[in-house]
Amino acid sequence: MSYLALARKYRPRKFEDVMGQGHVVKALSHALDGDKLHPAILLTGTRGVGKTTLARIIAKCLNCETGVSANPCGVCSACKEVDEGRCVDLLEIDAASNTGVDDVRQVIENAQYAPARGRYKVYLIDEVHMLSKSAFNALLKTLEEPPPHVKFILATTDPQKLLVTVLSRCLQFNLKRLPVSVIRDQLAKVLDDEAVAYEIGALTEIARSADGSMRDGLSLVDQAIAFSGGQGLKREGVEEMLGTTGRQTLFEILAALAGGDADALLACIQRLEEQAPDYGALLNDLAGHLQRIAVLQLLPNARAEDDDAALVELKDRLGREDVQLYYQIAVLGRRDMPWAPDPRMGFEMTLLRMLAFRPGPAPAQNAGSTPQARTAPAGARPASAAPAAAPAAAMARAAAPAVRPVPPPILLRPDAAWDERVEALGLDGFTKPLARNCAWVGRDGSRVSLTLDSRLKHLLQESRRMAIEQALSAQLGEAIQLHIEIATAPVADTPVELDKQRATDRQRAAEAAIDADPVVRAFRDMFGAQVRPGSVQPLDS
């Protein structure tokens, strides 16, 4: 007898054996128990999640000799014929091979005849989205009003390609992608039944590579058993088979980035080059690790049993803003990889971007590595101390608002107007618009008061107020306390409003000058010429 693949040998025979599709099983079970199953059912979902399996179980439930129910006996001739693939009343049609209208017309003609042995004639049309438009149109009337002894079960991986008129005639069930834990546990049961030794880490790697498909997971187990040569499934061997040997190195890469250790990062890159991995898949895994770290940082209770210990440790060593930046760089690097000279260079360049653009001090460099070595700013922590200091730094950033350093302001005379002072403060970003939209109220000792139009109160943030206070203190030569109040009425004497008024005055002066120009007057008197509105602009605009 030929070898039977695990995906076929362990195909579920009843509803309770179907993994991860409880919402679909529940609805179908209730309908079958009451013999009220819809005549046309559409099963959608990615490959290997149980569409064909559910269709065959439904066929058994409808034609079991014990009666229509959600629990077929599994031992009668009808149940055995369905399990063995020789039931004459279950017609499985591959729409990818039978796409034409003539194939559908043949189905419609045969549907008029009563079933050969069972109660119902069940048509399973797989990959139904491959049918042509004319074939769909030919099937519409039969789907809407089929003979009482006919049930249609349509299966597809791409329901978006189906006509709306088809969808409206079917009861649709969307099968979910299976979680890694569900696939891993099922693979463990299969290997226990097959008396094959395994490491749980090896099954986790296979479950991740299955990408939500139980059938793909079982097929990979078949491959891993052959690869191991009867020695059991070990994580190292499975990683070698799948080409994911560099996945563990990714944790070392993230640790090197957390510490700003360029030498350790280079060592990891060289080790990966020896393993010849799939660099595109590694970048996907790196982005996935960063996403998981971000979740654990913001939602500590979201930790799952599938999370590696190394990944959980990294959440305390990487800053939250670093994780967000690294994730964005990894995603963009994956997008740009087809344009790189080769995948290895694209992967390395992505890691170098992460190292070069990481927030905070630049990574440590050897003194003789470059003619112009970057000097770390005074007070910066050494790169080797970054892992231990990262949690404290993250807590400090969360506890107090960050004040962006500003350039030294220009000293002005004591009676300088507020709009002059704003231009000389050297502010940037959103801090400058905040200052320009405030009006000077007065100064009482060390207290300086400004007022802000209520329509622009969204500009007022504590970090921006502190930046203005810091720059103004340096400009005045003494420490001051800045208070910004929200005005109830429009504020007219802000630098922004004063600039608008000056621009209006310049425009009026320019238009008056044009009107008084002798040449313009001569053209107006001789030819009836007119100055086009809006065409006059001040020379300094």
Tell me the per-residue pLDDT of 130-177, one tens digit each, with 9 for 90 and over: 988 888 888 888 888 989 999 999 999 999 988 898 999 999 999 999
Answer yes or no: is pLDDT of 301 > 90: no
* Block residue for tokens 């960063």: 290
* Block residue for tokens 């009337």: 141
Q: Domain 6-174, what architecture?
A: 3-Layer(aba) Sandwich (3.40)
The predicted structure's pLDDT at residue 123: 93
Pairing of strands 121-126, 150-156: parallel
Task: Spell out the residues 6+ positions from residue 195 whose beta carbon is closer than 8 angstroms to its own.
Answer: none
The 3-state DSSP class for residue 214 equals: helix
DSSP conformational letter for 115: P
For range 426-438, the mean pLDDT: 87
Side chain identity, residue 323: V
The predicted structure's pLDDT at residue 512: 87
The predicted structure's pLDDT at residue 381: 43
What is the DSSP track for 325-370? Answer: HHHHHHHHHHHHGGGSSSHHHHHHHHHHHHHHT-SSSPPP--TTS-
The predicted structure's pLDDT at residue 155: 93
Each domain of the chain, given as residue ranges in start order, spans: 6-174, 180-242, 247-356, 418-493
The half-sphere exposure of 330 on its side-chain side, counting CA atoms within 13 A, is: 22
Band of residue 489 on the pLDDT scale cut at 50, 70, 90? confident
For range 490-509, the mean pLDDT: 87
The predicted structure's pLDDT at residue 120: 92
The predicted structure's pLDDT at residue 408: 57
Answer yes or no: is pLDDT of 397 > 80: no
For range 504-515, the mean pLDDT: 87
- Domain 247-356 fold is Zinc Finger, Delta Prime; domain 3 (1.20.272)
Answer yes or no: is pLDDT of 406 > 70: no
Q: Where are the alpha helices (DSSP H) in 3-88?
A: 6-9, 22-33, 51-63, 77-83
The predicted structure's pLDDT at residue 304: 76
The predicted structure's pLDDT at residue 223: 92
Helix (H) or strand (E) holding 443: strand 438-444
Q: 180-242 — its CATH code?
A: 1.10.8.60
> How open is the CA angle 315-461-297, to the nearest 5 degrees?
10
What rounded mean pLDDT belongs to the chain?
A: 84
The predicted structure's pLDDT at residue 371: 41
The predicted structure's pLDDT at residue 398: 45
Q: Domain 418-493, what architecture?
A: 2-Layer Sandwich (3.30)
Lowest mean pLDDT among 245-254, 256-265, 342-351: 245-254
Greater confidence, 99 or 423? 423
pLDDT in tens, 61-102: 999 999 899 999 989 999 999 988 889 999 998 888 877 888
Answer yes or no: is pLDDT of 29 > 60: yes
Beta-bridge partners for 306: none
How many residues in total does the chain contain? 541
